[in-house]
Structure 1
Amino acid sequence: MDEAKLRTIAQLQEFLDATLEISFTGTPGNNDSQRYEHISRVLKRFEYPGRGKGERGVVLAYLRRTSGYSRAQLTRLVGRWEANRLAPVPLAKRYGAPSIPFARKYSAADVGLLAQMDRANEDVCGPAIVHLLQRAFVVYGDQRYERLSKLSASHLYNLRKSAGYRALRTSFTKTHAVCNPIGVRKAPRPNGRAGWVRIDSVHQGDLDGIKGVYHITCVDAVSQWQVQACVQGISEAFLLPVLEMVIAQFPFQIDGFHSDNGSEYINHKVAKMLEKLRIEQTKSRSRNSNDNALAESKNASVVRKHMGYSHIPQKYAKPINAFYQEVFNDWLNLHRPCLFAIEVVSDKGKIKKVYKKQDVKTPLECLVLLNKTDLVVFKSATTLEELVLKAKGKSDLQAAQEMQKAKAELFELFNKSGCKNQT
C-alpha cells in the first residue's frame, strides 16, 4: 500500500473514517520486517514524539489499522522506536529460527525399545520403567539401552506423548460403570397400577454466579398425578423435608420411586427415608433415555411453560412452594387434561403408543377409573370422594383463572424485587 501521500493528522483521520479493515501484505518470510519499516516511516514522517496526546492516538490508530498488530504489541514497538530512533535501524526483529537446531538425543529406535518395554510390563509407572531400562543396560549388558538407561522419569512421559511412540503403541481404557449400591438400576413396572412415581429436578438458572431455585417434579407413571415443589438448593438440608412433603401429598399409596442417577436422590439419606416408608427405589439405566421420560416431559410442558427460563433467586423458593401447594397442584390434577397413551401392535409386530381422543382425561378422572378396577390403593377410604367433591366445587375455567391470577401475583413479587422473568 502506498500511503506516503498522507502527511497530516487530518488526512489520517479521514483515512480511518473511510476504511474498516486492511490486511498488511508483504514478502513471505519477511512480513514482520516490512511492518517494522512501515511503522518507523510513519512515526518519523509525523514526528510522533512532538505530537500531543490526541494526535498520537490518531497515529497509533492508523498504525493498528495498517499493520494488523494488537494495541499492546504496537505500544511496545513504538516504545522501542522512541528509545532507538536515532539509530540507523530503530526497529528490528529480535528473534529468529535457531541457526543450529537442537540435537535429538533419543532416536526412533530408542522410542521403539521404550514401547516394547511398556507393552511387556503393561504400562507401569514411569519410575518403574526407568529402573527396568537401567537394569537392561547395567545388569544385563544390552547395549541397545545405553541411552535409555539415562532417561529421566519426567522425560519418559514426553516420549510416550510423541507421535512415534503413539504410532507403535496406543492404549485405550474403557469407561468403568458406576457401582453405586443405592437403588436398583431398572425401569419400574407398575403394570397399570398407580403408585410408581418418577421424579426429576429443574434448575431455574444462574445469574452472576448466584444460583436460582430448583423445581421438583414428581409424577405418577400411570395416573399422571403430579406434585410440584420448590427448594432453595438440592442439598440434603433442603431436599429431604420437601421429598417427605411431596410423597405425603399423593392421595394414594406410593410403592415405587424412580429417578435419574443424580446424587440429590441417589444418596444414603434419601434411601433411608424411602426404606422407612417401604418404597422401592429405582434409577435410570445407561443408554435408556426413556426410563425417566415422563418426568422430563412434565418439566417442559408444565414447569418451563408456567415458570419460564429466566433466573429466579433462591430467596423466592418459599413463596413459589406455597403457590404450588395452595393453587397449582390442585389445578394440575383436578382440572388440567392429560394425554394417555395406549399400546397398539402394528402388522409388523412393532408396539407403538397411540393417543386417542377418548383417552384425554384429568389425573383425577384416571384415578376414578383405576379405582373401579382396584388398581389404586388410597391412603384413606374417603380420599377419592373428597377429591371428586373438591373438583366439582369450581369449573375448569374458574380453576385455571384463579391459578393464573395467583401466578401473576407471584411474578409481581419477583418484579418488585428486581427479578426479571418471562413465562
Structure 2
Amino acid sequence: MVLRSRRDYLEAIKSRYNRASKEAKSRILDEFCETCGYNRKYAIRLLRKPRKKPSGNNSCRPGPKAVYQDAKLIEALKRIWFATDQMCSKKLKAAIPLWLPFYGIEFEPLEQSFQEKLLQLSPATIDRLLKPYRALYRKGRCTTRPGTLLKNQIPLSTHHWDVTQPGYFEADTVAHCGSSMAGDFVYSLTFTDILSGWTENRAVWGRGSQGVLKRIKDIEEGLVFPILGFDCDNGSEFLNHHLVRYFTERPKTPVLFSRSRPYRKNDNAFVEQKNWTHVRQLLGYE
C-alpha cells in the first residue's frame, strides 16, 4: 500500500477508533496493523495523534520575510549585471560599489535604502535573484573551430610584443547566429591595434578563408599605418594557407604572424574588449 493510501485509510478509521470501546479498538488496531504493516505501538500513536487544525493561510511558507524581492531592487541589479557584461555573482558583488555611483546618471536616481541593499547582497543571493534572467539572456555561442593544418607553422604568442609603434594587431570574429549555429550567418571581423586602440570592424558572410581575407585587405587599405604584426585565435578562418601567404610572403617586410593559446581569451584581451564595446553593445547577442 502506498503512503497516500495509508494516510487516507488512517483518516477513515481514526474517528471510529476514538469512539469505539476497548474491545472494538483492539479489533480496529489489529486490522490497521495487518493492512498497513505497522508496528502496533506506532499504529496506536498514529490513531491517537490529534488532527492538525487548518491554518488561515496555507500559502505562507515558514521563515523570515523575503528581504530582496522588491521589483525595483531586482531591476537595478539586472541593469548593473547587463552593464558589466553579465558577470558572475562573485565578480558582480565586487563591481557593484564601483558601478553604483553612476547608476543615477545612466538611469533614474536610486533611493539610499535600495543602494544599501544592493551593497549587502551576497554572491549566493545575487545568483538566486538573477537565475530567471540567466536562462533568458545567454551570452553568444563560441564558434571557434580549430584550424589544425598550420598550427606547427604559426608560433604561439605567450606574451605581448614590445609595442612601441602602431601596427601590431589582434583579430577576432563574432558570430551573429542567435540561438542556433545551423546554416550560414554573418560574422563581425574585429581588428584592434594594441598601442593606439584603433579598431576596424567589417561584416563577413560565413567564415570562409577567402571572405575573411577580402575583408582584411579592405581594412589594410584604409589604415594610416602598415600592419607589422598579426595575432589571432585558433579558428580556421585565420589559420589557413591564404592568410599565411598574404602576411608572410611579402616582398618588403613580412608581417609577424602568431596565434594565441587555445581557450585563453586573455591572450587576445585587446580585441576581446573591443568585441564587447564595438559589437556586442551595438548588436547584442543575436
With normalisation by structure 2, the TM-score equals: 0.44
With normalisation by structure 1, the TM-score equals: 0.30
* Structure index of larger Rg: 1
**Larger RCO (CA within 8 A; separation ≥ 6):** 2
